[in-house]
Protein backbone atom coordinates (compact mmCIF):
# COMPACT_ATOMS: atom_id res chain seq x y z
CA UNK A 1 0.00 0.00 0.00
CA UNK A 2 1.24 3.46 -0.95
CA UNK A 3 1.54 6.32 1.49
CA UNK A 4 -1.70 8.29 1.32
CA UNK A 5 -1.59 11.94 0.36
CA UNK A 6 -2.76 13.59 3.54
CA UNK A 7 -2.08 17.20 2.68
CA UNK A 8 -4.93 19.50 1.78
CA UNK A 9 -4.60 22.88 0.15
CA UNK A 10 -5.06 25.93 2.34
CA UNK A 11 -8.17 27.97 1.63
CA UNK A 12 -8.05 30.74 4.19
CA UNK A 13 -5.29 31.95 6.42
CA UNK A 14 -5.03 34.49 9.20
CA UNK A 15 -1.54 35.77 9.90
CA UNK A 16 -1.13 37.53 13.21
CA UNK A 17 -4.56 39.11 13.07
CA UNK A 18 -5.46 41.50 15.90
CA UNK A 19 -8.41 43.71 16.72
CA UNK A 20 -8.61 44.96 20.27
CA UNK A 21 -11.36 47.07 21.80
CA UNK A 22 -9.72 47.00 25.19
CA UNK A 23 -7.41 44.72 27.19
CA UNK A 24 -8.57 41.14 26.60
CA UNK A 25 -11.51 42.43 24.50
CA UNK A 26 -11.41 41.46 20.85
CA UNK A 27 -8.72 39.18 19.52
CA UNK A 28 -4.99 39.26 19.48
CA UNK A 29 -2.29 37.85 17.18
CA UNK A 30 -4.37 35.02 15.80
CA UNK A 31 -2.96 32.56 13.28
CA UNK A 32 -5.38 30.28 11.49
CA UNK A 33 -5.18 27.94 8.56
CA UNK A 34 -8.35 26.49 7.10
CA UNK A 35 -7.88 23.65 4.62
CA UNK A 36 -10.21 22.83 1.75
CA UNK A 37 -13.13 20.65 2.75
CA UNK A 38 -12.54 21.26 6.43
CA UNK A 39 -14.97 22.46 9.10
CA UNK A 40 -13.05 24.50 11.65
CA UNK A 41 -14.89 25.24 14.86
CA UNK A 42 -14.00 28.27 16.96
CA UNK A 43 -15.23 27.67 20.51
CA UNK A 44 -15.11 29.72 23.67
CA UNK A 45 -17.39 31.53 26.08
CA UNK A 46 -19.09 34.82 25.32
CA UNK A 47 -16.59 37.64 25.25
CA UNK A 48 -13.73 35.33 24.25
CA UNK A 49 -13.36 37.15 20.94
CA UNK A 50 -14.66 34.43 18.68
CA UNK A 51 -17.30 36.55 16.98
CA UNK A 52 -14.83 39.39 16.48
CA UNK A 53 -12.48 36.90 14.86
CA UNK A 54 -15.25 35.70 12.57
CA UNK A 55 -15.93 39.26 11.42
CA UNK A 56 -12.23 39.81 10.71
CA UNK A 57 -11.99 36.57 8.75
CA UNK A 58 -15.17 37.17 6.81
CA UNK A 59 -14.11 40.58 5.54
CA UNK A 60 -16.56 42.51 7.66
CA UNK A 61 -14.13 44.27 9.95
CA UNK A 62 -10.62 45.47 9.26
CA UNK A 63 -8.00 44.17 11.70
CA UNK A 64 -5.64 46.58 13.50
CA UNK A 65 -2.76 44.33 12.52
CA UNK A 66 -2.13 41.18 10.52
CA UNK A 67 -3.43 39.77 7.28
CA UNK A 68 -6.31 37.60 6.18
CA UNK A 69 -5.34 35.70 3.05
CA UNK A 70 -7.77 33.84 0.82
CA UNK A 71 -6.29 31.21 -1.47
CA UNK A 72 -8.63 31.43 -4.39
CA UNK A 73 -8.25 29.37 -7.51
CA UNK A 74 -9.77 32.28 -9.40
CA UNK A 75 -8.00 35.11 -7.60
CA UNK A 76 -5.14 35.35 -10.01
CA UNK A 77 -5.62 37.53 -13.04
CA UNK A 78 -9.05 38.89 -12.22
CA UNK A 79 -7.76 42.29 -11.30
CA UNK A 80 -4.18 41.61 -10.34
CA UNK A 81 -4.62 42.24 -6.63
CA UNK A 82 -3.54 38.72 -5.79
CA UNK A 83 -0.50 36.72 -6.70
CA UNK A 84 -0.26 32.97 -7.08
CA UNK A 85 -3.92 32.71 -6.16
CA UNK A 86 -3.43 34.57 -2.87
CA UNK A 87 -5.77 37.38 -2.07
CA UNK A 88 -4.97 39.70 0.81
CA UNK A 89 -8.48 40.46 2.01
CA UNK A 90 -7.88 43.93 3.35
CA UNK A 91 -5.41 45.00 0.66
CA UNK A 92 -8.06 44.74 -2.03
CA UNK A 93 -10.75 47.39 -2.43
CA UNK A 94 -14.01 47.47 -0.54
CA UNK A 95 -16.02 46.69 -3.69
CA UNK A 96 -13.90 43.68 -4.47
CA UNK A 97 -14.18 42.42 -0.93
CA UNK A 98 -17.95 42.75 -0.99
CA UNK A 99 -18.08 40.98 -4.32
CA UNK A 100 -16.06 38.12 -2.88
CA UNK A 101 -18.45 37.76 0.01
CA UNK A 102 -21.37 37.80 -2.39
CA UNK A 103 -19.95 35.49 -5.06
CA UNK A 104 -17.53 33.05 -3.47
CA UNK A 105 -18.30 33.13 0.21
CA UNK A 106 -21.38 32.70 2.31
CA UNK A 107 -22.33 33.89 5.76
CA UNK A 108 -24.93 32.33 8.05
CA UNK A 109 -25.93 34.67 10.88
CA UNK A 110 -27.05 33.47 14.26
CA UNK A 111 -30.27 35.40 13.88
CA UNK A 112 -31.89 34.52 10.53
CA UNK A 113 -33.47 37.96 10.50
CA UNK A 114 -30.00 39.40 9.91
CA UNK A 115 -29.46 37.21 6.86
CA UNK A 116 -32.89 37.25 5.26
CA UNK A 117 -35.10 39.83 3.62
CA UNK A 118 -38.19 39.28 5.69
CA UNK A 119 -40.58 41.17 3.46
CA UNK A 120 -39.90 39.40 0.17
CA UNK A 121 -40.81 35.81 -0.63
CA UNK A 122 -38.78 32.74 0.33
CA UNK A 123 -38.11 32.12 -3.36
CA UNK A 124 -36.80 35.65 -3.86
CA UNK A 125 -34.53 35.22 -0.84
CA UNK A 126 -32.99 32.12 -2.35
CA UNK A 127 -32.78 33.63 -5.82
CA UNK A 128 -31.08 36.84 -4.77
CA UNK A 129 -27.52 35.52 -4.66
CA UNK A 130 -28.04 33.63 -7.90
CA UNK A 131 -29.17 36.85 -9.56
CA UNK A 132 -26.08 38.58 -8.23
CA UNK A 133 -24.10 35.93 -10.09
CA UNK A 134 -25.93 36.81 -13.30
CA UNK A 135 -28.79 34.31 -13.36
CA UNK A 136 -31.82 36.10 -14.85
CA UNK A 137 -34.02 33.27 -16.10
CA UNK A 138 -37.20 33.32 -14.00
CA UNK A 139 -37.97 29.63 -14.46
CA UNK A 140 -34.49 28.61 -13.40
CA UNK A 141 -34.48 30.90 -10.37
CA UNK A 142 -37.81 29.46 -9.32
CA UNK A 143 -36.64 25.89 -9.90
CA UNK A 144 -33.53 26.55 -7.81
CA UNK A 145 -35.72 28.05 -5.09
CA UNK A 146 -37.94 24.99 -4.99
CA UNK A 147 -35.00 22.60 -5.13
CA UNK A 148 -33.27 24.33 -2.22
CA UNK A 149 -36.39 24.58 -0.13
CA UNK A 150 -36.66 20.82 -0.48
CA UNK A 151 -33.02 20.34 0.48
CA UNK A 152 -33.45 22.27 3.69
CA UNK A 153 -36.72 20.47 4.40
CA UNK A 154 -39.04 23.38 3.77
CA UNK A 155 -42.27 22.82 1.89
CA UNK A 156 -41.57 24.07 -1.69
CA UNK A 157 -45.22 25.08 -1.95
CA UNK A 158 -44.44 27.91 0.43
CA UNK A 159 -42.01 29.46 -2.06
CA UNK A 160 -44.17 32.58 -2.40
CA UNK A 161 -44.62 33.10 1.34
CA UNK A 162 -42.63 35.75 3.15
CA UNK A 163 -40.10 34.50 5.74
CA UNK A 164 -41.82 36.53 8.43
CA UNK A 165 -44.60 33.92 8.31
CA UNK A 166 -42.03 31.14 9.06
CA UNK A 167 -40.96 29.82 12.48
CA UNK A 168 -37.44 30.54 13.75
CA UNK A 169 -36.16 27.11 12.76
CA UNK A 170 -37.67 27.45 9.29
CA UNK A 171 -36.15 30.90 8.88
CA UNK A 172 -32.76 29.50 9.80
CA UNK A 173 -33.10 26.75 7.21
CA UNK A 174 -34.16 29.32 4.64
CA UNK A 175 -31.12 31.43 5.45
CA UNK A 176 -28.93 28.37 4.90
CA UNK A 177 -30.59 27.67 1.55
CA UNK A 178 -30.13 31.30 0.53
CA UNK A 179 -26.45 31.12 1.45
CA UNK A 180 -25.59 27.77 -0.08
CA UNK A 181 -27.55 28.06 -3.34
CA UNK A 182 -24.51 29.61 -5.05
CA UNK A 183 -22.24 26.77 -3.87
CA UNK A 184 -19.83 29.05 -2.02
CA UNK A 185 -16.20 27.99 -1.62
CA UNK A 186 -16.16 29.11 1.96
CA UNK A 187 -18.97 29.49 4.49
CA UNK A 188 -18.88 31.35 7.78
CA UNK A 189 -21.42 30.35 10.42
CA UNK A 190 -22.00 32.30 13.59
CA UNK A 191 -23.84 30.16 16.18
CA UNK A 192 -26.13 28.74 13.47
CA UNK A 193 -28.20 26.79 15.98
CA UNK A 194 -27.99 29.44 18.68
CA UNK A 195 -31.51 30.76 19.08
CA UNK A 196 -33.34 27.53 18.32
CA UNK A 197 -35.22 24.99 20.39
CA UNK A 198 -33.31 21.78 21.02
CA UNK A 199 -35.57 19.63 18.81
CA UNK A 200 -35.19 22.13 15.97
CA UNK A 201 -31.43 22.26 16.54
CA UNK A 202 -31.05 18.52 16.03
CA UNK A 203 -32.76 18.70 12.68
CA UNK A 204 -30.61 21.60 11.57
CA UNK A 205 -27.39 19.91 12.70
CA UNK A 206 -28.17 16.77 10.78
CA UNK A 207 -29.00 18.83 7.70
CA UNK A 208 -25.80 20.85 7.96
CA UNK A 209 -23.70 17.70 8.28
CA UNK A 210 -25.22 16.29 5.12
CA UNK A 211 -24.79 19.53 3.17
CA UNK A 212 -21.16 19.87 4.27
CA UNK A 213 -20.42 16.39 3.00
CA UNK A 214 -22.43 16.57 -0.22
CA UNK A 215 -21.16 19.99 -1.29
CA UNK A 216 -17.64 19.47 0.12
CA UNK A 217 -18.00 22.77 1.98
CA UNK A 218 -15.19 24.49 3.82
CA UNK A 219 -16.61 26.12 6.92
CA UNK A 220 -15.55 28.35 9.76
CA UNK A 221 -18.06 27.79 12.53
CA UNK A 222 -18.29 29.88 15.66
CA UNK A 223 -20.14 28.27 18.54
CA UNK A 224 -20.13 28.20 22.32
CA UNK A 225 -21.91 24.83 22.25
CA UNK A 226 -19.39 21.98 22.47
CA UNK A 227 -22.00 19.39 21.46
CA UNK A 228 -22.61 21.31 18.23
CA UNK A 229 -18.85 21.55 17.71
CA UNK A 230 -18.49 17.79 18.25
CA UNK A 231 -21.09 17.03 15.60
CA UNK A 232 -20.04 19.51 12.95
CA UNK A 233 -16.38 20.42 13.26
CA UNK A 234 -13.35 18.45 12.11
CA UNK A 235 -10.96 20.67 14.02
CA UNK A 236 -11.37 23.08 16.92
CA UNK A 237 -9.74 26.24 18.12
CA UNK A 238 -10.38 27.23 21.72
CA UNK A 239 -10.42 30.97 22.46
CA UNK A 240 -10.16 32.77 25.75
CA UNK A 241 -9.71 36.49 26.39
CA UNK A 242 -8.96 37.21 22.76
CA UNK A 243 -6.34 34.51 22.37
CA UNK A 244 -6.20 30.98 21.05
CA UNK A 245 -5.34 28.68 23.94
CA UNK A 246 -5.48 25.35 22.13
CA UNK A 247 -6.09 23.84 18.71
CA UNK A 248 -6.47 20.25 17.56
CA UNK A 249 -8.78 17.62 16.16
CA UNK A 250 -12.26 17.93 17.62
CA UNK A 251 -11.98 14.71 19.62
CA UNK A 252 -8.48 15.64 20.82
CA UNK A 253 -9.79 18.89 22.23
CA UNK A 254 -12.91 17.37 23.78
CA UNK A 255 -11.51 14.02 24.97
CA UNK A 256 -7.90 14.88 25.79
CA UNK A 257 -7.76 18.64 26.41
CA UNK A 258 -4.30 19.92 27.30
CA UNK A 259 -4.75 23.50 28.36
CA UNK A 260 -6.12 24.26 31.81
CA UNK A 261 -8.88 26.44 30.37
CA UNK A 262 -9.97 23.80 27.83
CA UNK A 263 -10.11 21.21 30.60
CA UNK A 264 -12.29 23.51 32.63
CA UNK A 265 -14.55 24.24 29.66
CA UNK A 266 -14.96 20.58 28.70
CA UNK A 267 -15.52 19.39 32.25
CA UNK A 268 -18.16 22.05 32.86
CA UNK A 269 -20.56 20.73 30.22
CA UNK A 270 -23.60 18.93 31.50
CA UNK A 271 -24.32 15.70 29.68
CA UNK A 272 -27.89 14.48 30.13
CA UNK B 1 3.49 -16.75 16.95
CA UNK B 2 5.09 -13.85 15.13
CA UNK B 3 4.37 -12.86 11.62
CA UNK B 4 7.03 -13.06 8.95
CA UNK B 5 5.70 -10.17 6.91
CA UNK B 6 6.90 -6.61 7.30
CA UNK B 7 5.03 -4.75 10.02
CA UNK B 8 2.43 -2.17 9.02
CA UNK B 9 2.47 -0.49 12.42
CA UNK B 10 5.35 0.09 14.83
CA UNK B 11 4.89 1.58 18.27
CA UNK B 12 8.06 2.45 20.08
CA UNK B 13 8.55 3.50 23.73
CA UNK B 14 5.08 5.00 23.89
CA UNK B 15 4.35 7.16 26.88
CA UNK B 16 1.09 8.75 27.96
CA UNK B 17 0.38 11.01 30.89
CA UNK B 18 -2.63 13.17 31.63
CA UNK B 19 -2.03 16.44 33.43
CA UNK B 20 -5.13 17.34 35.41
CA UNK B 21 -5.10 21.11 35.80
CA UNK B 22 -8.32 21.04 37.80
CA UNK B 23 -6.60 18.82 40.39
CA UNK B 24 -3.69 21.08 41.13
CA UNK B 25 -1.77 19.93 38.08
CA UNK B 26 -1.64 16.30 39.14
CA UNK B 27 -0.05 14.04 36.55
CA UNK B 28 -1.68 10.73 35.85
CA UNK B 29 0.74 8.42 34.13
CA UNK B 30 -1.14 5.72 32.29
CA UNK B 31 1.46 4.25 29.98
CA UNK B 32 5.20 4.05 29.91
CA UNK B 33 7.60 2.50 27.44
CA UNK B 34 5.14 0.48 25.40
CA UNK B 35 6.42 -1.01 22.14
CA UNK B 36 4.76 -3.28 19.64
CA UNK B 37 4.62 -4.15 15.96
CA UNK B 38 1.64 -5.28 13.94
CA UNK B 39 1.69 -6.86 10.50
CA UNK B 40 -0.88 -6.96 7.72
CA UNK B 41 -3.27 -9.87 8.19
CA UNK B 42 -2.51 -10.06 11.88
CA UNK B 43 -4.74 -9.53 14.91
CA UNK B 44 -2.99 -8.49 18.09
CA UNK B 45 -5.10 -8.52 21.23
CA UNK B 46 -4.35 -6.28 24.18
CA UNK B 47 -4.98 -7.87 27.52
CA UNK B 48 -4.81 -6.80 31.12
CA UNK B 49 -7.18 -5.48 33.78
CA UNK B 50 -9.41 -2.41 33.27
CA UNK B 51 -7.67 0.89 33.67
CA UNK B 52 -4.36 -0.43 32.43
CA UNK B 53 -4.42 1.76 29.32
CA UNK B 54 -5.73 -0.52 26.58
CA UNK B 55 -8.31 1.94 25.28
CA UNK B 56 -5.84 4.77 25.73
CA UNK B 57 -3.46 3.05 23.33
CA UNK B 58 -6.21 2.67 20.72
CA UNK B 59 -7.17 6.32 21.13
CA UNK B 60 -3.60 7.45 20.60
CA UNK B 61 -3.43 5.35 17.43
CA UNK B 62 -6.64 6.98 16.25
CA UNK B 63 -5.41 10.48 17.03
CA UNK B 64 -8.09 11.10 19.67
CA UNK B 65 -5.51 11.26 22.44
CA UNK B 66 -2.23 13.04 22.10
CA UNK B 67 1.06 11.24 22.48
CA UNK B 68 3.18 12.30 25.45
CA UNK B 69 6.33 10.51 24.30
CA UNK B 70 7.53 7.78 21.97
CA UNK B 71 6.73 7.13 18.32
CA UNK B 72 3.90 5.66 16.28
CA UNK B 73 4.69 4.80 12.70
CA UNK B 74 2.84 3.28 9.75
CA UNK B 75 4.98 1.58 7.11
CA UNK B 76 3.93 2.00 3.50
CA UNK B 77 5.60 0.61 0.37
CA UNK B 78 7.05 4.01 -0.39
CA UNK B 79 7.98 5.14 3.09
CA UNK B 80 7.00 5.59 6.71
CA UNK B 81 4.43 7.91 8.20
CA UNK B 82 4.89 9.19 11.74
CA UNK B 83 1.55 9.52 13.49
CA UNK B 84 2.87 11.26 16.59
CA UNK B 85 3.99 14.31 14.62
CA UNK B 86 1.10 14.47 12.15
CA UNK B 87 -0.63 17.86 11.80
CA UNK B 88 -4.28 17.71 12.89
CA UNK B 89 -5.77 18.21 9.43
CA UNK B 90 -3.85 15.21 8.05
CA UNK B 91 -5.91 12.92 10.28
CA UNK B 92 -9.09 13.63 8.29
CA UNK B 93 -7.89 11.65 5.28
CA UNK B 94 -5.99 9.13 7.38
CA UNK B 95 -9.13 8.23 9.31
CA UNK B 96 -11.23 8.12 6.19
CA UNK B 97 -8.89 5.83 4.26
CA UNK B 98 -6.43 4.06 6.55
CA UNK B 99 -7.26 3.83 10.25
CA UNK B 100 -10.70 2.62 11.32
CA UNK B 101 -11.98 2.54 14.86
CA UNK B 102 -14.83 0.60 16.41
CA UNK B 103 -15.55 2.16 19.76
CA UNK B 104 -17.39 0.55 22.60
CA UNK B 105 -20.33 2.90 22.37
CA UNK B 106 -22.11 4.41 19.44
CA UNK B 107 -22.11 8.17 19.38
CA UNK B 108 -25.67 8.83 18.35
CA UNK B 109 -26.42 11.75 16.08
CA UNK B 110 -30.01 12.88 16.54
CA UNK B 111 -32.34 12.02 13.68
CA UNK B 112 -29.85 10.07 11.56
CA UNK B 113 -31.23 6.61 10.69
CA UNK B 114 -29.14 3.52 11.48
CA UNK B 115 -28.56 2.70 7.84
CA UNK B 116 -27.15 6.19 7.18
CA UNK B 117 -24.87 5.93 10.21
CA UNK B 118 -23.40 2.85 8.55
CA UNK B 119 -23.25 4.41 5.07
CA UNK B 120 -21.36 7.48 6.21
CA UNK B 121 -17.77 6.15 5.97
CA UNK B 122 -18.47 5.09 2.38
CA UNK B 123 -20.16 8.36 1.42
CA UNK B 124 -17.17 10.21 2.86
CA UNK B 125 -15.02 8.38 0.30
CA UNK B 126 -17.34 9.41 -2.49
CA UNK B 127 -19.04 6.03 -2.93
CA UNK B 128 -22.31 6.38 -4.80
CA UNK B 129 -25.32 6.64 -2.47
CA UNK B 130 -27.21 3.62 -3.87
CA UNK B 131 -24.14 1.41 -3.55
CA UNK B 132 -23.38 2.66 -0.05
CA UNK B 133 -26.97 1.95 1.00
CA UNK B 134 -26.92 -1.55 -0.46
CA UNK B 135 -23.66 -2.38 1.30
CA UNK B 136 -24.87 -0.90 4.59
CA UNK B 137 -28.10 -2.89 4.44
CA UNK B 138 -26.19 -6.08 3.68
CA UNK B 139 -23.95 -5.44 6.66
CA UNK B 140 -26.87 -4.74 9.01
CA UNK B 141 -28.66 -7.85 7.78
CA UNK B 142 -25.56 -9.87 8.41
CA UNK B 143 -25.44 -8.58 11.96
CA UNK B 144 -29.09 -9.60 12.41
CA UNK B 145 -30.39 -6.09 13.01
CA UNK B 146 -34.15 -6.30 12.29
CA UNK B 147 -34.98 -4.55 9.02
CA UNK B 148 -37.67 -2.41 10.67
CA UNK B 149 -34.89 -0.67 12.66
CA UNK B 150 -32.76 0.33 9.69
CA UNK B 151 -34.63 3.53 8.99
CA UNK B 152 -34.80 4.59 12.65
CA UNK B 153 -32.21 6.66 14.50
CA UNK B 154 -30.34 4.33 16.89
CA UNK B 155 -30.89 6.62 19.89
CA UNK B 156 -33.65 4.40 21.28
CA UNK B 157 -32.03 1.06 20.38
CA UNK B 158 -30.84 -1.43 23.00
CA UNK B 159 -27.15 -1.57 23.86
CA UNK B 160 -26.63 -4.65 21.70
CA UNK B 161 -28.45 -3.11 18.74
CA UNK B 162 -26.42 0.09 18.95
CA UNK B 163 -23.27 -1.98 19.20
CA UNK B 164 -24.15 -3.79 15.98
CA UNK B 165 -24.76 -0.51 14.15
CA UNK B 166 -21.36 0.58 15.40
CA UNK B 167 -19.69 -2.63 14.21
CA UNK B 168 -21.34 -2.35 10.80
CA UNK B 169 -20.08 1.22 10.51
CA UNK B 170 -16.59 0.20 11.61
CA UNK B 171 -16.16 -2.75 9.28
CA UNK B 172 -17.93 -1.46 6.17
CA UNK B 173 -15.08 0.71 4.93
CA UNK B 174 -12.44 -2.05 5.14
CA UNK B 175 -9.66 0.11 6.58
CA UNK B 176 -6.13 -1.37 6.38
CA UNK B 177 -5.71 -0.79 10.13
CA UNK B 178 -8.65 -1.49 12.43
CA UNK B 179 -8.78 -0.63 16.12
CA UNK B 180 -11.41 -2.60 18.01
CA UNK B 181 -12.43 -1.53 21.50
CA UNK B 182 -14.50 -4.40 22.89
CA UNK B 183 -16.73 -4.78 19.84
CA UNK B 184 -18.41 -7.88 21.24
CA UNK B 185 -19.10 -6.54 24.75
CA UNK B 186 -22.91 -6.50 24.62
CA UNK B 187 -23.61 -9.10 21.94
CA UNK B 188 -25.27 -12.50 22.09
CA UNK B 189 -23.51 -15.64 20.90
CA UNK B 190 -24.86 -15.54 17.34
CA UNK B 191 -23.73 -11.97 16.80
CA UNK B 192 -20.37 -12.56 18.45
CA UNK B 193 -19.93 -15.26 15.83
CA UNK B 194 -20.62 -12.74 13.04
CA UNK B 195 -18.01 -10.38 14.48
CA UNK B 196 -15.47 -13.21 14.63
CA UNK B 197 -16.15 -13.85 10.94
CA UNK B 198 -15.81 -10.17 10.08
CA UNK B 199 -12.46 -10.09 11.85
CA UNK B 200 -11.28 -13.21 10.06
CA UNK B 201 -12.33 -11.75 6.71
CA UNK B 202 -10.49 -8.52 7.51
CA UNK B 203 -7.34 -10.51 8.29
CA UNK B 204 -7.74 -12.49 5.09
CA UNK B 205 -7.79 -9.32 2.99
CA UNK B 206 -4.61 -8.15 4.73
CA UNK B 207 -5.92 -5.72 7.32
CA UNK B 208 -3.95 -5.28 10.53
CA UNK B 209 -6.11 -5.41 13.64
CA UNK B 210 -5.46 -4.29 17.16
CA UNK B 211 -8.20 -5.13 19.61
CA UNK B 212 -9.49 -5.39 23.13
CA UNK B 213 -11.74 -8.35 23.89
CA UNK B 214 -12.86 -9.37 27.33
CA UNK B 215 -14.66 -12.41 25.97
CA UNK B 216 -12.03 -15.17 26.17
CA UNK B 217 -13.67 -17.36 23.57
CA UNK B 218 -13.66 -14.53 20.99
CA UNK B 219 -10.14 -13.55 21.97
CA UNK B 220 -8.79 -17.07 21.49
CA UNK B 221 -10.42 -17.37 18.09
CA UNK B 222 -9.25 -14.08 16.59
CA UNK B 223 -5.91 -13.38 18.26
CA UNK B 224 -2.64 -14.23 16.58
CA UNK B 225 -0.79 -12.81 19.55
CA UNK B 226 -1.64 -11.43 22.97
CA UNK B 227 0.01 -8.38 24.41
CA UNK B 228 -0.42 -8.15 28.19
CA UNK B 229 -0.24 -4.52 29.22
CA UNK B 230 0.54 -4.95 32.93
CA UNK B 231 4.27 -4.83 32.39
CA UNK B 232 4.13 -1.50 30.60
CA UNK B 233 2.82 0.47 33.50
CA UNK B 234 4.74 2.75 35.74
CA UNK B 235 3.49 4.17 39.00
CA UNK B 236 -0.13 5.15 38.46
CA UNK B 237 -0.08 8.58 40.00
CA UNK B 238 2.76 11.02 40.26
CA UNK B 239 1.81 14.35 41.79
CA UNK B 240 3.64 17.35 40.40
CA UNK B 241 4.19 20.98 41.18
CA UNK B 242 1.27 23.32 41.69
CA UNK B 243 -0.69 24.49 38.75
CA UNK B 244 -0.92 28.23 38.25
CA UNK B 245 -3.27 28.55 35.31
CA UNK B 246 -6.98 29.34 35.40
CA UNK B 247 -9.34 28.54 38.29
A112-150 residue pLDDT tens: 999 999 999 999 999 999 998 888 999 999 999 999 999
Do A2 and B246 lie within an 8 Å CB cutoff?
no
**SS3 at position B112:** coil
Do B89 and A255 lie within an 8 Å CB cutoff?
no
Mean pLDDT of A12-19: 97
Question: Residue A205: its chain B contacts at CB < 8 A?
Answer: 109-110
Question: How high is the pLDDT of residue A72?
Answer: 82
Mean pLDDT of A28-39: 96
Range of weakest confidence among A69-83, A145-159, B103-117: A69-83
Q: Which residue among A37, A252, A261 sits closest to B63, beta carbon to beta carbon?
A: A252
Name the residue of chain A whose CA is nearest to B107's CA: A231
Rounded Cα–Cα distance for residues A220 and A57 (Å): 9
Question: How high is the pLDDT of residue B137?
Answer: 98
Rounded Cα–Cα distance for residues A10 and A58 (Å): 16
Mean pLDDT of B117-139: 96
- The number of helices, as runs of H, and strands, as runs of E, in chain B is 7, 10
What is the percentage of chain B residues whose pLDDT exceeds 90?
77
Left if phi > 0, otherwise alpha if psi is -120 to 50, otherwise beta: which for B53? left
Q: What confidence category does residue A81 fall into, taking pLDDT thresholds of 50, 70 and 90?
A: very low
Q: What confidence category does residue B231 fall into, taking pLDDT thresholds of 50, 70 and 90?
A: low
Please determine, for residue A79, whether its predicted confidence score (pLDDT) is greater than 50. Answer: no
Question: Residue B22: its chain A contacts at CB < 8 A?
Answer: 260, 263-264, 267
Rounded Cα–Cα distance for residues A154 and A51 (Å): 29
| 195-214 in chain A: CB under 8 A from chain B | 202-203, 205-206, 209, 213
More confident residue, A201 or B192: B192
Residue A260 in contact with partner chain B when CB distance is under 8 A: yes
The continuous run of DSSP H or E covering A53 comes out as helix A50-57
Question: Residue B93: its chain A contacts at CB < 8 A?
Answer: 4-6, 8
Tell me the backbone φ, ψ of residue B178, rounded to 5 degrees: -120, 130
Please determine, for residue B13, whether its predicted confidence score (pLDDT) is greater than 50. Answer: yes
Rounded Cα–Cα distance for residues B171 and B174 (Å): 6
**SS3 at position A230:** helix
Question: How high is the pLDDT of residue B244?
Answer: 37
Rounded Cα–Cα distance for residues A4 and A15 (Å): 29
CATH architecture of A10-269: 3-Layer(aba) Sandwich (3.40)
Question: How high is the pLDDT of residue A203?
Answer: 82
Please determine, for residue A6, whether its predicted confidence score (pLDDT) is greater than 70. Answer: yes
A246-272 residue pLDDT tens: 999 999 999 999 999 999 999 988 765
The full DSSP string for B27-81 is EEEEEEEEEEEE-TT-EEEEES-TTSSHHHHHHHHTTSS--SEEEEEEEETTEEE
For chain A, domain boundaries: 10-269
First to last CA, chain A: 44
Q: How far is B54 from chain A, CA to nearest CA, in Å?
A: 16
Instruction: Count Cβ–Cβ pairs < 8 Å, chain A vs chain B.
Output: 94
Mean pLDDT of B89-104: 95
Question: How high is the pLDDT of residue A200?
Answer: 82
Do A89 and A68 meet the contact criterion of CB atoms below 8 Å apart? Answer: yes
Q: Which residue among B78, B92, B247 sits closest to A234, beta carbon to beta carbon?
A: B92
Residue B93 in contact with partner chain A when CB distance is under 8 A: yes
A208-258 residue pLDDT tens: 998 998 899 999 999 999 999 999 999 999 999 999 999 999 999 999 999
| ipTM of the modeled complex | 0.89
Question: Residue A32: its chain B contacts at CB < 8 A?
Answer: none
Mean pLDDT of B38-61: 93
Do B65 and A256 lie within an 8 Å CB cutoff?
yes
Mean pLDDT of A151-177: 94
| 185-224 in chain B: CB under 8 A from chain A | none
Do A6 and B94 lie within an 8 Å CB cutoff?
yes
Q: Which residue among A8, A249, A264 sits closest to B246, beta carbon to beta carbon?
A: A264
Question: How high is the pLDDT of residue B100?
Answer: 97
Rounded Cα–Cα distance for residues A15 and A8 (Å): 18
Q: What confidence category does residue B4 fall into, taking pLDDT thresholds of 50, 70 and 90?
A: low
Residue A173 in contact with partner chain B when CB distance is under 8 A: no
Exposure of A151 in the CB half-sphere (CA atoms within 13 A): 22
Residue A9 in contact with partner chain B when CB distance is under 8 A: no
The DSSP code for B116 is H
Interface test with A, best of B24, B128, B244, B246 (most A CBs within 10 A): B246
Do B79 and A234 lie within an 8 Å CB cutoff?
no
Mean pLDDT of B35-45: 96
Amino acid sequence: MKRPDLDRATLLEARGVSRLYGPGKGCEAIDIRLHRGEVLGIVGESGSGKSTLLRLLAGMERPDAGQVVYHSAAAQGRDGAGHEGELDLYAIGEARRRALLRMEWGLVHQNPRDGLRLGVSAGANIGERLMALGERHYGQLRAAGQDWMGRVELDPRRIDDAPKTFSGGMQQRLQIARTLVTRPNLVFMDEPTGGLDVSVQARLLDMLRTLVRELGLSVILVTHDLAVARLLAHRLMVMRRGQVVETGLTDQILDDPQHAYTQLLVSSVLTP
Amino acid sequence: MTSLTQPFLSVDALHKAFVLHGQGGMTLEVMRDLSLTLSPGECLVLSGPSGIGKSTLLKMLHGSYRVTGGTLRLHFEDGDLSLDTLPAHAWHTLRRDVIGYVSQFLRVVPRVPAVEVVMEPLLARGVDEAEARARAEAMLARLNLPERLWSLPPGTFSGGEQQRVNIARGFIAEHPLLLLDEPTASLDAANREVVVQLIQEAKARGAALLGIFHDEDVRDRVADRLLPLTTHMGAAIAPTAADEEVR
